[in-house]
Amino acid sequence: MSSTSPALTARYGAHAAPADVALTPLIEQLLAHRSVRAFLPDPVSDAQLAAMIAAAQSAASSSNLNVWSVVAVRDAGTRARLAEFAGGQAHVRDAPLQLVWLADLARLRRIAAQLGRPSAGLDYTEMFLTGVIDAALAAQNAAAAAESLGLGTVYIGGMRNHPQEVAALLALPPEVFAVFGMCVGTPDPARPAAVKPRPPQSVVLHHERYREDAQDAGIEAYNAAMARFYDAQKMNVHGSWAVHSAKRVAGPESLSGRDRLVEALHALGFKLS
Amino acid sequence: MSSTSPALTARYGAHAAPADVALTPLIEQLLAHRSVRAFLPDPVSDAQLAAMIAAAQSAASSSNLNVWSVVAVRDAGTRARLAEFAGGQAHVRDAPLQLVWLADLARLRRIAAQLGRPSAGLDYTEMFLTGVIDAALAAQNAAAAAESLGLGTVYIGGMRNHPQEVAALLALPPEVFAVFGMCVGTPDPARPAAVKPRPPQSVVLHHERYREDAQDAGIEAYNAAMARFYDAQKMNVHGSWAVHSAKRVAGPESLSGRDRLVEALHALGFKLS
């Protein structure tokens, strides 16, 4: 059951793949994940969507509160608007299905009101965070399910560039927030996506206690691995992964409008106490 | 490829399972998820842990920033302290492995400083949220990987009851936050866990636009399904799922200390601009 595999080598590069890994077909499938941004126009069937949602609902939910929802968008006009809101991403427009994953406190607010019960706990940042986590766990199961069906996906964090506009377009009630989108469709075989290398496990995995300096050698190796990846993919990326990442968090102007997130959440009815 | 399955029936009950679902072995595995809180003392091997982390790293990461980390805790003393912090949960003490999943902005803060570059983007709530989402996607892949290896898991949201104490125990640097824990181990066959029913898909899945009133029939059906589940499991739960859930969000006193989350995050160095 323990061995190396081509999927591990693709994920870490030849020199940084862990030597002894317990593998299963499911793990091999997860290792082979790649973000797909080029789709055929073929629709995603209702049975495929039902499978993704059933997988999503099978993820853990904090105290079984189920404080998440999802909007399945197939309408081409709505997809085009979402693509604009997300910074003009063509694959949001072109993928036959866009799943917009929601942190949803409105359902429990409404249920409590119908029961004549208080729900002031929903005013707290903790419950907003619970909704975000519930939505993320659900979405990741859905992504894995989709890939097992031969579909491709890519997460769309750009859904947070204009949260109020997304909420208006999808008729979200107060206290419902689009955490991210997800393009779903059949990958275009003419434009295949590559498995992106990740840092060595020593960068993200700590034993017993966190250690900052234990990450340095792995980060250096990762910069080299990503340089080789950019070259192999003929991607025109300047600077190392470290430089590229530092640029992405340089300041509010590098956040694509998401520096105004708290303001937008308040406008959407979240108290964030 | 499309059919119903025993796993679907367990997840939704006999009457609420979607009729036409595209199934794969991976999807069947995800559908069979249950939260395990009773473990044998057998250790989780390094090869199993390496597989969980490789799966975790294969999940999507926003802009490949990898703003998450995880601490693997096997030390019995540390597990006992974490169990106390999480509200006295015995399974946190007893599971042979506790994975504490972290939103980690410290790595990029340090990388930017080493490069002499600004990193003011990390001051924003958006980047904190990105860390939480990255950690959640990673953790869910790890959970699925663990189950495929015959291990059981349960998420521990109680890690947010005392964020500063958890951070001190695990030596987390500023701007690193324990989003949740995860017990991992071999399920005790003498104390098997059940698959928990979820609401019908009509409660969480919307088409094209969000509709509040479309959820009502499904919520009513779910209250009945959960009442049957509580009975069958001989669980002493008073009131419907709706009442149970409303109680959980009644007010700050029902949040197990997590009403102070923003204060704790500020103390941990997150600016949350």
| β-bridge partners, B100 | B71, B181
Indicate the pLDDT class of residue A233, thresholds 50, 70 and 90.
confident
Chain B residues close to A125, C-beta within 8 Å: 261-262
B161 and B223 assigned to the same domain: no
Based on the fold, state whether residues A160 and A188 are members of the same structural domain: yes
Mark yes or no for CB contact B246/A112 under 8 Å. yes
* CA distances for B255 relative to A175, B180, B251, B266, angstroms: 18, 15, 7, 19
Q: Does B62 touch chain A (CB under 8 A)?
A: yes
B63 interfacial to chain A (CB closer than 8 Å): yes
Query: β-strands B68-73, A205-207: how paired?
Result: parallel
Whether A242 is covered by a domain: the verdict is: no
**Best B89, B204, B259 residue to mutate vs chain A (most A CBs within 10 Å):** B204
B219 touches chain A (CB under 8 A): yes
pLDDT at B4: 62
| CB distance A176 to A71 below 8 Å | no
Minimal CA separation from A13 to chain B, in Å:
12
The pLDDT value recorded for residue A4 is: 62
B113 inside domain = yes
- The domain that holds A102 is classified in CATH as 3.40.109.10
Which member of A115, A206, A259 has the closest CB to residue B69?
A: A206
Calculate how close chain B gets to A212, using CA atoms only, in Å. Answer: 8
Give chain A positions within 8 Å (CB) of B254.
Answer: 121
Same domain, B114 and B172: yes
Contact A119, A109 (CB under 8 A): yes
Where residue A3 falls among pLDDT bands split at 50, 70, 90? low
At A56 the pLDDT is 98
Determine whether the interchain pair A245/B54 forms a contact, defined as Cβ–Cβ distance below 8 Å: no
Q: Is the pTM of this model over 0.95?
A: yes
A237 within domain boundaries: no
Distance from the B190 Cα atom to the nearest Cα atom in chain A, whole angstroms: 22
What single DSSP character describes residue B7?
H
Task: Report CB contact under 8 Å: A21, B248.
Answer: no
CA A167 – CA B168 distance, rounded (Å):
39
Q: Are residues B95 and B59 in the same domain?
A: yes
Q: How confident is the model at residue A237 (pLDDT cuts 50, 70, 90)?
A: confident
B33 and chain A in contact, CB less than 8 A: yes
Rounded to whole angstroms, how far apart are CA atoms B128 and B272? 7
Q: B142 with B202, same domain? A: no
Chain B residue with CA closest to A207: the answer is: B72
Chain A CB contacts of B250 under 8 Å are 112, 117-121
Determine contact, residues B159/B87, Cβ cutoff 8 Å.
no
What is the DSSP track for B52-107?
Answer: HHHHHHHS--GGG---EEEEEE--HHHHHHHHHHTTS-HHHHHSSEEEEEEEE-HH
User: Does residue A188 sit in the same domain as residue A206?
Assistant: no
- The pLDDT, as a whole number, for residue B5 is 84
Pairing mode, strands A205-207 and A97-104: unpaired
> What residues of chain A lie within 8 A of the CB of B2, using their CB?
47
The chain A residue lying nearest B47, using CA atoms, is A21
pLDDT for position A1: 45
Interface of B with A in 113-172 (CB under 8 A): 114-115, 117-122, 124-127, 129-130, 132-133, 136-137, 139-141, 143-145, 148-149, 154-155, 157, 160, 170-172
Do residues A82 and A139 both lie within one domain? yes
Same domain assignment for residues B203 and B174:
no
What's the mean pLDDT in A218-244?
90
- Same-domain pairing of B70 and B27: no
pLDDT digit string (tens) for A75-85?
999 999 999 99
A193/B contact by beta carbon, under 8 A: no
DSSP state of B158: G
- AA letter at B72: A
The predicted structure's pLDDT at residue A221: 96
- Cβ <8 Å between B27 and A51: yes
Does residue A2 register a pLDDT over 80?
A: no
**B63 located within any domain:** yes
Do A115 and A224 lie in one domain? The reply is no
10 Å Cβ neighbour count for B129?
26
Q: For residue B35, which residues of chain A lie inside 8 Å, CB to CB?
A: 60
Residues 72-101 of B with CB under 8 A from A: 72-75, 78
Residues A113 and A153 occupy one common structural domain: yes
Quote the CA–CA distance of B150 and B187 in Å, as a whole number.
8
**Residues A121-137: tens digit of each pLDDT:** 999 999 999 999 999 99
Closest partner residue to A26 (CB to CB) among B140, B145, B210 is: B145
Task: Tell me the average pLDDT across A171-179.
Answer: 98
**Domain ranges, residue A201:** 6-31+195-232
Residues of chain B with pLDDT under 70: 1-4
Is residue A249 situated within a structural domain? no
CA distance A236 to chain B (A): 16
A-B Cβ pairs (cutoff 8 Å, strict): 403
Residue A124, domain member (yes or no)? yes
Does any domain span residue A273? Answer: no
Q: Is residue B117 part of a domain?
A: yes
Over residues A33-64, the pLDDT tens digits come to 999 999 999 999 999 999 999 999 999 999 99
The tens digit of pLDDT for each residue in B132-183 reads 999 999 999 999 999 999 999 999 999 999 999 999 999 999 999 999 999 9
- Contact residues, chain B, for A29 at CB < 8 Å: 26
B170–chain A nearest CA distance, Å: 5
A30 alpha-carbon distance from chain centroid: 14
B30 at A interface, C-beta within 8 A: yes
Two structure tokens written together for B141: 């892949």
To the nearest whole Å, the CA of A190 is away from the closest chain B CA by 22
Number of domains in chain B: 2
Domain check: are B123 and B27 in the same one? no
User: Cβ neighbours of residue B55 under 8 Å, at least 6 residues apart?
Assistant: A27, A30, A31, B141, B142, B144, B145
